[in-house]
Every structure is written in structure tokens, then in C-alpha cells.
Amino acid sequence: EPAPEEEAAKEEAQEEMEENVVDVNEEAAEETKEEEQTEAVVQMTEDFNKVDMEEPLPDSPEALTAKQEAAIREQMLLDMAPIHEKILTEIEEVTTFEDGIKRPYFHVKELERFN
């Protein structure tokens, strides 16, 4: 008959194997989830970059289809993105400069920063 020490060692080895299998399964599930998220982001980006303006626009805004309205909104966002980034950069530069200015004689309490 095997000694109790040998049985304990076998049980430990079995538990370690089970933990390793669980870890491998969890890692595979995480990798699959990350791949799915990456694919979803790529698909969303591709969809976003495709602006469907093949149909002629109607004369009045009320006559726009949902697809046309979405295409116009997407194109506006694409056109405005570089301007938005430039403005954010300029605001950051000004904020850094203004935070360094100390004028205790001018304001009784600190101004609130608009975010």
C-alpha cells in the first residue's frame, strides 16, 4: 500500500495539473476575448471611415433618410477631428502656462477650472 506521504504528493500533483489546465483555459478565453474586441474595433473603424453619400441629398433636412443623416454626421466628425485635436493641444499649453501664474492680490479665492 502506498504511504500517506505518497498519496499526499499525488494529490498535490493532481491539483497543480488541474490549476494549470484552468489557467490555460482562462488565458485562451482572454486571448479570444481580446481578439474579438480588436476585430470589433477594426470593424467599427472601417464602418466609420466609409461614408455613404451615393444617394443624392434631398432638398429639405426633414426628407433625409437615417442612413444619409448618419453619413453626414460621420463626415462632419471626420472633418472636425483634426481641428478638435489642435484645439485640445492649444488649451493644454495655455492651461500649463496659466497654472504657473500666481496672483494672490487679484482673486480672493481660486478660480474654478472648466472641464
| pLDDT tens per residue, range 20-38 | 666 666 777 777 877 877 7
Q: Identify the pLDDT of residue 83.
A: 93
For the cut 80, the answer to whether the pLDDT of residue 51 exceeds it is: no
47, 48, 73, 72: which is closest to 58 by C-alpha?
72
Where does the pLDDT of residue 82 fall: very low under 50, low under 70, confident under 90, or very high at 90 and above? very high
Share of the chain above pLDDT 90, in %: 13
User: What is the model's pLDDT at position 16?
Assistant: 76
Confidence grade of residue 81 (pLDDT, cut at 50, 70, 90): very high
Helix then strand then coil, in percent of the chain rounded to 5, is: 70, 0, 30
Q: What is the mean pLDDT of the chain?
A: 76
